[in-house]
Amino acid sequence: EILMTQSPATLSVSPGERATLSCRASQSVSSNLAWYQQKPGQAPRLLIYGASTRATGIPARFSGSGSGTDFTLTISSLQSEDFAVYYCQQYNNWPPYTFGQGTKLEI
């Protein structure tokens, strides 16, 4: 099973600032990496797949990068609605599909 590790656990930033979230895989997952956003009381929402492709309707301020074992989600200018928990998910080696433990983005 591939272990996904996200850092930091909590990231405190201000609206308008840039946020950089990291995800590391215990072994290479190539570019088979997705990012999800989860707001309180809601189901997760797919943001990024293929490490860098935005899902339908996702604003351009969200960008993903990386391959192999190290990945980054960048939010270029934080809006109030971006404060949430973000999860990475690998789909290179499955079953099982595995998620990171999440990064909470807070003000």
Partner 1 sequence: QVQLQESGPGLVKPSETLSLTCSVSGDSIFNYHWTWIRQPPGKGLEWIGYVHYSGSTNYNPSLKSRVTISLDTSKNQFSLSLSSVTAADTALYYCASSLDHLFDYWGQGALVTVSS
Q: In terms of Cα–Cα distance, which of 5, 1, 32, 37 is closest to 19?
A: 37
CB of 37 to partner 1, least distance (A): 12
Q: Which residues of 85-94 are buried (b: 16+ CB within 10 A; e: fewer)?
A: bbbbbbeebe
* Cα distance between residue 33 and residue 90, in whole Å: 5
* Cα distance between residue 37 and residue 50, in whole Å: 16
Among 1, 17, 81, 106, binds partner 1 (CB under 8 A): 1
**18 or 94, CB closer to partner 1?**
94
Site map 47..86 versus partner 1, x via CB under 8 A: --x-----x-------------------------------
Q: List phi, psi (to 5°) of 82.
A: -90, -10
Site map 9..48 versus partner 1, x via CB under 8 A: -----------------------x-x-x-----xxxxx--
Residues near partner 1 (CB under 8 A) are: 1, 32, 34, 36, 42-46, 49, 55, 87, 89, 91, 94-102
